[in-house]
Amino acid sequence: MAEHTCPPWMSFTLTNVFRRMAHDPNKILARFLKEGDTALDVGCGPGFFTIPMAKKVGESGLVIAADINEKMLERVRKRAAKAGVLSRIRLHLSQKDRLGIEQKVDFALAFWTIHEVPDRKRIFSEILHSLKPNGLLLFAEPRIHVTESRFKEMLAAAESAGLKVQAEEAICLSRAVVFRIP
């Protein structure tokens, strides 16, 4: 993953009440997760989506929270413990250039993170490799940082990795799609 990533000291900007108003995790994730699922949060940061994902997958499910920054993963650990869902979360320290997830998942989320990754085809290939048959990837990028043409380049990288757009998603302040395995 890239050198230009959100520093841990700015993580409060990723978990505040204003963001929750724009990106209500429960509304965004509602139709993608169910009890017992295994999910992957790519570039989880401080766990804005990780914690709600863990609640949705329940006691029998698992969320893999992947990030390249140990301090972000520590923030997830603390927040998950406080929320009572730490036992449902596996923290995974990725490398700058490799996601490194071997476990198969039902659902993957890459929310406002792929624009920070230098080798997009590789990251999409790794996400594809982690998806179970019929697995889905919700991919969203911030409109403020990612132009439409750059987003289309990312979509092309995902498709060249083997993913297929299933549908566009309407998410506030974002360009977003759902991918599936063809």
87-126 pLDDT tens trace? 999 999 999 889 999 999 999 999 999 999 999 999 999 9
The two tokens of residue 4 are 């230009």
pLDDT at 1: 38
Please, what is the Cα angle at 23 between 40 and 14, to 5 degrees? 75
Q: In the prediction, which pLDDT does 85 show?
A: 98
- Residue 72 included in any domain: yes
Contact present, 19 and 13 (Cβ < 8 Å): yes
Whichever domain contains 110, its CATH number is 3.40.50.150
Question: Is 131 within a domain?
Answer: yes
Phi, psi of 91 (to 5 degrees): -80, 130
Q: Does residue 181 lie in a domain region?
A: no
Residues of the chain with pLDDT under 70: 1-21
Range of the domain at 31: 10-173
The model's pTM is: 0.92
**Residue 178 in domain:** no
Report whether 163 contacts 125 (CB < 8 A): no
Instruction: Please tell me the predicted confidence (pLDDT) of residue 143.
Output: 95
Domain count, the chain: 1
The answer to whether 48 and 11 are in contact (CB under 8 A) is: no
